[in-house]
Structure 1
Amino acid sequence: MMNLKQYLSKVPDHQAVYTPILYRLNQEQDHQAFLELLSQNAHLQVTDEILSQLKELIKISNPTRKLSPEETAGAVQQHLGNQPIETYGVWVYYPWSGRVVHIVDEAEFIALRTSRNMHKITLEEQKLLKSKKIGIIGLSVGQSVALTLAMERVCGELRLADFDKVELTNMNRIRTGLHNIQVHKVVVVAREIAELDPFLRVKCYLDGATEENLDDFFTNGGNLDMLVEECDGVDIKILSRVKAKALKIPVVMDTNDRGMVDVERFDLEPDRPLLHGLIPEIDIKSLRHLTDAEKIPIFRPMLDMDKMSDRLKFSLGEIGKTITTWPQLASSVVLGGAVVTDTCRRILLNQFSNSGRYYVDFEQLIV
């Protein structure tokens, strides 16, 4: 068990810290390290609501009975046995916020946090999803996707890749606070996931997805089960699909316009052409470092730009004139998070097997 100084020494840039430290006080080494943490950091914000979690645990364990407060208290005490409540479960320390939170340990935590998924997601399905690994490239739409996947616990591991940092102009669609300006997007997302669920494994690629690290992104620690591709780089958009196809990994993409979701089932169709055969014949190396205006002629066939909304079509013509890049709306980004998460879950549970492009277009559906 690392102490705080050892932990931070392994991360030269403290802005890149996104992994919480877990202390189990029934283990002597952790107990001593936790006492040291408290003694050296008088400013820590400590939240200890373990009793409410134990009451919830008793409640979901007795769905056919409405227990009285006295019965619940007795059941909690019986559940604890002789163990002091302060040593029960896990104390989670979040270095970036100076918070310490007392929670039940992993199995009980997952049972509680997913209890209201039942029976829309069965126990057997939850167990299967816990074994899945999902990679996300691009953390604008990808932020909404990552957080929704985490909330629904559609996987046990997330790998996040984006080289960019949060700017104020991103905050029309990226849900975060002003204190995160100039923090890496992947770190912002990873921290929020850790604050929601410290038991979800998250690995961040702060340089984004690159030709050099794609193999590590796809295979280190076991192959990905799903790729969610949401990046702006044309070369990585193509190269990531080349790798996914070679490894027979399905790819899902949301385009943040008209609710369009693109699915490529390379796991079921290993000979399927990349992006449904819509990628133009072009030298991939020539696609690096293009401006947004230069990307448009290449993106046009790949993303079916002729089917885009009228307002986005108009906006694309304004890049470099009245705007610097294509616009994205929070409502569309949040919709993308929902649609991609639902699609990924159904693919991973073998409930959806098609490739293609699908639209959840509010202007067409709500008229």
Structure 2
Amino acid sequence: MIREHLRKQQDESNDYKPVFYNLNREQDQQGLATLLKSRPHIRINDNLYSQLRELMKIRNPTKPLTHEESEKKIREYIGALPADHVGVWVYYPWSDHLVHIVDEADFIELRTSRNKHKITDEEIAILSKKKIGIVGLSVGQSIALTLVMERLCGELRLADFDKLELTNMNRIRCGVHNIQVSKVVIAAREIAELDPYIKVKCYPDGMTESNMDDFFSADGQLDIFVEECDGVDIKILSRIKAKQLKIPVVMEMNDRGMIDIERFDLEPDRPLLHGLIPEVEISTLKGLTDAEKLPIFSPMLALENASARMKFSLGEIGKTITTWPQLASSVVLGGALVADTCRRISLNQLKSSGRYYIDFEQLIV
């Protein structure tokens, strides 16, 4: 019975971009009508009025609005438009959900209203124009989602060649139905569900020498590059490119809360990774096993300063474990550290390069 159903089932798509319908445009009306007819099982979520009530509330902070006052302001906001024509309808192909939301400017106002005054309106406007690229979607997934929740950019570029395995789910937040789905697609879908107005571009083959120029510069140069990949060659080559383009690089190690900052935008002559990259021929670094990477990673990541349990684990690779361990608590902390750092760099509040530790075992004793 199950096998028969599987044979008839459509293959998993890699869709990650939502589809927008503005019913004030005849073409979109026709497109949505066709969609609903062809997919009658679509689940529709129409809670626009909830959003409009919140919008009236945040625009009138000095006194609570009565129900009548709120309704009056909503009617004035809508004007003569039919309710279905207010805002936009967003269709998520991977989940077959159709959601009614307010227009982009009002959406951003609502989404960021509880950031104020920790982030000002002027800063929100600056951040909405920033482009951030992330390579490596383990720690990178937590970073991407934190950036989006805090709305610290207007565009994300995500690169990772891996598909999700069950072993990844000790640190990557998603459901078991995503096993064998591309990690970048998983992240991009969740971003679209959090904020469909943020532009996302995926590189499901990971960052390569052939797509690196596109990743860094297509449709506008990156403002910040976040490097979280395991490939030694790409770890080095991507920094060479970032330095050429004067793009700051941020990396989080997922151990002892270590965060690394290289301000190539302010220090264009700064040595890569603070001069910690050993003399190696880059062409020899492709396809290394995790055990073979360790002698090269060790000076780059200052593994002599790693936690005791990480040091022990590294010695067990190829014996009792297959790769270095990562914990969800460290990954979530990494998401917060990198997001906070990116916000401060983007707003010109942080100008230093260096390596810093937020080590809970030392801070909380």
Using structure 1 for the length normalisation, give the TM-score: 0.96
Q: Which structure 1 segments of 5+ residues have no match?
A: 1-11
Give the corresponding residue for 1:180: 178
Aligned ranges 1:101-116 → 2 under 5 Å: 101-116=99-114
C-alpha distance in structure 1 between counterparts of 2:40 and 2:81, whole Å: 27
Aligned ranges 1:194-343 → 2 under 5 Å: 194-343=192-341
Q: CA deviation at 1:16?
A: 1.4
C-alpha distance in structure 2 between counterparts of 1:359 and 1:124, whole Å: 31
Give the corresponding residue for 2:189: 191
C-alpha distance in structure 2 between counterparts of 1:164 and 1:300, whole Å: 24
SS state at 2:107 partner:
helix
C-alpha distance in structure 1 between counterparts of 2:277 and 2:107, whole Å: 45
Counterpart residue identity of residue 234, structure 1: V
SS state at 1:203 partner:
strand
CA-to-aligned-CA distance 1:241-286 (integer Å, 9 cap, x gap): 0000000000000000000000000000000000000000000010
Using structure 2 for the length normalisation, give the TM-score: 0.97
Q: CA deviation at 1:30?
A: 0.4
Moved over 2 A (4+): 12-15
- Taking structure 1 as reference, are residues 170 and 137 closer, same or farther at Cα in structure 2, changes over 3 Å only? same
C-alpha distance in structure 2 between counterparts of 1:218 and 1:78, whole Å: 45
Give the corresponding residue for 2:6: none
Q: CA deviation at 1:15?
A: 2.4
Counterpart residue identity of residue 48, structure 1: D
Q: CA deviation at 1:31?
A: 0.8
- Pair 1:64 & 2:62 matched: yes
C-alpha distance in structure 2 between counterparts of 1:195 and 1:338, whole Å: 20
Aligned ranges 1:44-123 → 2 under 5 Å: 44-123=42-121
- Pair 1:168 & 2:200 matched: no
C-alpha distance in structure 2 between counterparts of 1:80 and 1:37, whole Å: 26
Q: Give aligned-pair identity as a percent.
A: 69
SS state at 1:83 partner:
coil
C-alpha distance in structure 2 between counterparts of 1:106 and 1:163, whole Å: 32
C-alpha distance in structure 2 between counterparts of 1:171 and 1:318, whole Å: 21
Q: CA deviation at 1:87?
A: 1.2
Q: Which structure 2 segments of 5+ residues have no match?
A: 1-9
CA-to-aligned-CA distance 1:129-152 (integer Å, 9 cap, x gap): 111100000000000000000111
Counterpart residue identity of residue 362, structure 1: F
Q: CA deviation at 1:13?
A: 7.5
Counterpart residue identity of residue 16, structure 1: N
C-alpha distance in structure 2 between counterparts of 1:271 and 1:16, whole Å: 40
Give the corresponding residue for 1:128: 126
CA-to-aligned-CA distance 1:138-180 (integer Å, 9 cap, x gap): 0000000000001111110000000000000000000000010
Give the corresponding residue for 1:352: 350
C-alpha distance in structure 2 between counterparts of 1:221 and 1:16, whole Å: 22
